[in-house]
């Protein structure tokens, strides 16, 4: 920012890329890495959101859709244009696939797999090349508790995030000799604009809290602290791990969304019985 002193910290002299950095968890991670001195570039699909976020936390931005390989390559080049790229947080993700299995839309299923699984792979593919040229680095994939604990009626979301978890392990095994560490984070319910309706008081939120030993909604900063640890020098001997940051939710069961989905699909459909959507 104009007039601000140069940042200092353990990440000083390195560049970082955060996908999905315009809001939510991605923005929280970008803010945290920048606070420790990294030259951060955020990317995403919506320029207005990126521009506002970049101005807010004093970082650079590039418009890029992680499902478009050319755009990913351009974002990686921009991130490493001034300093060696050493840290990557792949936070871009989401879903358009939801509902009972018997009523899932195939196109929405494919789009969700493309965004979460393929988008993370493309980000890893191109950042791994850059980090290998720089002599090493750390990649953190933002997964979800839905990858490990079934979230009924979540369609392709949990499936795609389980693919991300496996990609983390595969890449950690392959890229270790190049000095690249690859880890993941499985957030639980985190307070972002994408889940605003879920974090409102009601039966779904109550069930979430009942499944968490620590009994509170997470904040983007909770995930950002874990990401900062995993890209930093403090975790130099950690790779191939997917860490739950979820208030302990993974110890119990997935949340019960029946109160939200039954009015949409009907009780029979939620039980897997044939029938038309309501």
Catalytic residue of the set 61, 157, 208, 265: 157
For residue 96, the 8-state DSSP code is S
H helices of 36-155, in order, are 47-57, 69-79, 106-113, 119-133
Provide the CB-side half-sphere exposure for 206 (13 A, CA): 6
Say how many residues make up the chain.
278
Handedness of CA 122, 125, 131, 134 (dihedral sign): negative
Which conformational region is residue 266 in: left (phi greater than 0), alpha (psi within -120 to 50 degrees), or beta?
A: left
C-alpha–C-alpha distance, residues 38 and 41, integer Å: 9
Q: Alpha-carbon dihedral of residues 269, 270, 273, 278, nearest 10 degrees?
A: -10
Q: Alpha-carbon dihedral of residues 189, 51, 111, 116, nearest 10 degrees?
A: -50
157 is catalytic: yes
Q: Which residues contact 272 (CB under 8 A, 6 or more apart)?
A: 100, 101, 102
How, if at all, do strands 15-19 and 137-142 pair? unpaired
Select from 233, 260, 231 the least CA-distant residue to 243: 231
Element spanning 1, H or E: none
Quote the radius of gyration of the chain (alpha carbons, Å).
19
For residue 7, the 8-state DSSP code is P
Annotated catalytic residues are 157
């Amino acid at each position: 920012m104009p007039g601000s002193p140069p940042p200092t910290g353990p990440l000083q002299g390195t560049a970082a890329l955060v996908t999905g950095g315009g809001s939510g968890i991605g923005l929280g991670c970008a803010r945290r890495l920048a606070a420790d001195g990294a030259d951060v570039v955020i990317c995403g699909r919506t320029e207005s959101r990126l521009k506002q976020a970049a101005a807010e936390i004093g970082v650079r931005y590039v418009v890029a859709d992680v499902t478009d390989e050319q755009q990913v390559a351009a974002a990686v080049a921009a991130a490493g244009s001034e300093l060696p790229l050493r840290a990557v947080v792949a936070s871009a993700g989401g879903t358009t696939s939801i509902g009972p299995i018997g009523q899932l839309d195939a196109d929405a299923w494919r789009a969700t797999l493309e965004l979460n699984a393929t988008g993370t792979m493309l980000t890893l593919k191109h950042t791994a090349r850059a980090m290998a040229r720089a002599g090493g680095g750390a990649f953190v994939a933002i997964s979800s508790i839905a990858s490990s604990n079934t979230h009924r009626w979540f369609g392709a979301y949990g499936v795609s995030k389980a693919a991300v978890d496996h990609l983390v392990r595969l890449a950690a095994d392959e890229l270790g000799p190049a000095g690249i560490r690859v880890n993941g984070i499985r957030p639980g319910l985190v307070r972002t604009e994408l889940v605003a309706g879920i974090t409102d008081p009601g039966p779904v939120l109550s069930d979430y809290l009942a499944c968490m030993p620590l009994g509170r909604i997470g904040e983007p900063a909770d995930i950002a602290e874990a990401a900062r640890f995993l890209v930093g020098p403090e975790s130099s001997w950690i790779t191939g791990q997917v860490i739950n940051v979820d208030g302990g939710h993974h110890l119990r069961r997935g949340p019960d969304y029946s109160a939200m989905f039954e009015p949409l699909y009907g009780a029979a459909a939620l039980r897997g019985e044939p029938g038309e959507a309501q």
